[in-house]
Amino acid sequence: MTDDSTAPRQIHQAFTQLIRWAHRGDVRLSLLGAAARTLSPNDITLLRTISRHGPVRASSLAAWQGVDKSTMTPQVRRLEERGLVARQEDPGDRRAALLTATDDGRRKLTEIDQVGEDLFRRALETWSDADQQTLAVLIRRLTDELAVVPQDGHTPH
């Protein structure tokens, strides 16, 4: 018999359930709005990264996502074809290009964020303001911590 009372076990179970929930088609529409029909979650993550950190090279994007640059090229191309990302020459290296989010790309992210915020606003409407703030602080803390946990399972010394 397993002990379901440990905090890490409860968090893992809740997190796994949350991931399953977020991957449902109806939920994707509720989280992303119309963008869910034309953009993959990876497209949205990539657009968000370019918007926050741009102008940025595709090689930097590939390194951040832990993929080869050849994998990044078609992903960026899809965003360019939709008019969400623009490419410009890198003044420091004419062989390289810098990527930036277009006005349409930034507007798309604002729309996506508004739809998602509305979903969570409705889900949390019975929670006190203090509980909502506590959740916001703790979930941000958790995501920040997970970003630096080694993926090989070993804790740094």
Whether 138 is covered by a domain: the verdict is no
CATH of residue 31: 1.10.10.10
Say yes or no to pLDDT of 1 above 50: no
pLDDT for res 122: 95
pLDDT for res 76: 93
pLDDT for res 113: 93
Whether 10 is covered by a domain: the verdict is no
Domain span at residue 59 reads 25-114
3-state secondary structure of 139: helix
Whether 3 is covered by a domain: the verdict is no
Whether 19 is covered by a domain: the verdict is no
Whether 37 is covered by a domain: the verdict is yes
Provide the domain count of the chain. 1
Q: Please tell me whether the peptide bond between 156 and the residue prior to it is cis, using omega within 30 degrees of 0.
A: no
Say yes or no to pLDDT of 97 above 90: no
Average pLDDT over residues 83-90: 92
99, β-bridge pairs: 56, 87
List Cβ neighbours of 6 (8 Å cut-off, separation of 6 or more): none
| 126/107 Cα distance (integer angstroms) | 30
Q: 7-54: per-residue pLDDT in tens?
A: 999 999 999 999 999 889 889 888 888 887 889 888 999 999 999 998
| 95/70 Cα distance (integer angstroms) | 16
Whether 133 is covered by a domain: the verdict is no
Which stretches within 6-91 are classed as H helix?
7-22, 25-32, 35-38, 41-53, 58-65, 69-81
pTM: 0.79
Whether 156 is covered by a domain: the verdict is no
Which residue do the tokens 């920040």 mark? Answer: 144
